[in-house]
Structure 1
Amino acid sequence: MKAFLWNGYLSYLLIGLAHVIMGSLLPEMLAHYGKDYSAGGQLVSLQFFGFLLGVLSGPWWSGKLGKRGALFLCLGCLSAAELVFFTLPSWPVVLTVAPLAGFGFGMVETIIGALVIQFLEGSRKTFVMTRLEVFFGLGALGMPLISSIFIAGGWWRGAFLSLGVLSFAMVVLWALLPLGRMQAMMQKTAAGEGAELHSPPTFRHKPIGLFAIFIAVFAIYVGTEMSVANFLPSILVANVQLQPEIAVLGGTCFWGAMAVGRLFAAHLAERFGYAAYLLASCVGGCVVLACFAMVQGAAASFALIALLGLVLSGVFSITLIYANSFFKGLEERVTSILIASGGVGGATLPLLTGWCLDRMTIPQSIWLLVAFYALMVALVFWASRSRSAKAAAAGPIAAELSET
């Protein structure tokens, strides 16, 4: 079991690296190919399309190939795509391969997340999910630093090579390391699951309206998180008059605080309850971001950025666990849909934020993000009230579950 968990942690570290490598190297790529930022946007959008495809098709591939076979497939796709990028092929080939990279790290995220939620119990599940997010944050934090080393050395495409090799190494680890009691589950295929796959669990008699609430929460949260992470340097340059090389540290500060906060998120969520933790996080996000809109000093801005990362650090993983508690037997499908909805939000809300930054003042644009966090507060509160009503109607067992 320890081997499975550490493979999962390292896989999340890998997809954290993969999520941000294109953004880290985009200026160098565009300069090499002689392309403008519109072409760069096309490249990122194609990778995002592949991400959605990987997230949504993960359960299907797991049924056909087994969990381990599906991981071999997606990690192999990621490794192949990064190695193709390393060769600096023609621009049409780059655009063709971009969805393959997104497909790879999208499917890794949904398969491992669903396995943890489905087969671990109680506080152990919460601890592992938040620890996975810690490793994801370390990857997202580390790739800009790794890329800067390669860029400073005059060999920026080496970052693609390093990620391709790391992806292949993860294939080897998943193939060779013993996985304990998860071994049989990782090797299950459609043929081996028998009647379970002939009569797959469905959303019939499930609270679909509640599921729609969680879809909206994921889209809003990931969209606002990506907006904050992507536009922080620009906001600090324009609003605080920092030099670009100093302003870029705002992103490092945000992701670093995220990684630290995730070390404690599981304990806090278990102690105070998932709903209370999520409500406090969303309210805290509103307050901190509102303060950020009103300050102009560099020290205060960086302090608030770090505080924002700490406050929001556990929202993704805790919401994923909380949502899945309503849909027993549907964990893999629910996880893939929720992560996909987060991907949609991550692609669309930053576009809205950028549009607002072009046409409104920076404080006004930040207040728009505050409004999104306020909407999240309302949605999470609505979901918590629905759960309380369900627990009260279902009896002691459901009530006990609602308190965990």
Structure 2
Amino acid sequence: MASGIDLGLRQRGALAMTPALRQAIGLISLSNAELSARLADLTAGSAVLGVAVGAGAEDWLTLSRQIAPPPSGHRRPLQEMRRGPGGMDTDRIPLAEPGLISHVEAQLPLLVRDAEDRRIARIFLHALEPSGWLGAGLEEIATEAGCPAARAEAVLRQLQAAEPTGLFARSLAECLALQAEEQGLLTQPFAALLRNLPLLAAGRTEALAEACGCGEETVREMACSLRRLNPKPGAGFAQAASAGHPADLILRRDGEGWLLELNAETLPTLRLTPGAAAPPEALREARALVQALERRHATALSVAAEIVTRQDAHLRGAGPPAALTINDLAAATGLHRSTISRVTAALVLSMPGRTLGLRDLICAPVPAARRQEEPLSLQAVLARMREIVAGEDPVHPLTDKAIAQLLLPEGAALARRTVVKYRGLAGIPPRAARRRPA
């Protein structure tokens, strides 16, 4: 009788935790400051690698990511902005440092001749960021100045003739276009290159050649010229020392979208020493460390860019954060949830008037009232509960069950005991403590 044993070969894949992979994972969980210290330890005594803090001017393209505005165009209405004494949103638009301000003020009489236009120019000056970019939109400045947008734009064109070239740009592309025009580089293919910077950052030379209507060699030559331009023309002036935890990522407005970049001032860089005599094994380890660092930078930008895209409305000041989990980010980026957790726990994001950790933008959802609805975030529900209680009758305050019923049409399906828990998180006293005598 034949045996029922069947012999055969089966192939099974498994991820080996190699030393290089462990090293790459270890770098992901570090902030820029911690990364600098770690790389200094790893390269101590190395004749092959050198480490320095501060990215080179030629590295800016690979250390930044452009983020387009959402299709629905969530924008904070002008009348809803928090305004300072002059009407500008002083929480969101910080003044540049005196070095840059005084430098531009000295040029104003030459740039803007008309006295009324000079008044408008000073409002533009108030919105100038330390990078040299504008921190406010044209319509906002026109409203603050009480003039038509066309006149504000005419004043802006005069200000954009200031030195160094690229000041008062409203986007990365405009900043680079001003410099390219001055240097005689702004041909039709170069302008097309500026319109397709994300393709250049992704290294898609063939697609760029098609978009620019030229050969790949011409694209490479234009890219070399582009890397010599300065995306932050104001950064060379005196800046105030930043207090607290230094930012790992910087987010600023880029036209209607965002520009996200790794903080070049705190970012460590590795350089292979040319012509260094070292064993082949040492060279392989050095190249592996450089690649691990590049992967860390790309991963940080990918995760942070997805968070900014999901939380666009909140970052513009239009309400609390949206519901967003680590699993959501893992599904969107194709990264493991443990990688997402490490990145968001380590990195700090800075934007005009605000600094926060990436983990602060990950928000737990609450149960949705209907299956097809996008769940509300816990922060949104807490904010709505505070509004409901603030508007209740103090003689007859709402019960927890009544609060749950008011939240149901807005998309949150909460049990009474959940309302009790959320009420505690929101700092809302119980009904008895809120009751006032008639």
> TM-score normalised to the size of structure 2?
0.22
Q: Which has the higher helix share?
A: 1
Q: Which has the higher strand share?
A: 2
> Over alpha carbons, which structure has the higher Rg?
2
Structure of greater relative contact order (alpha carbons < 8 Å, 6+ residues apart): 1
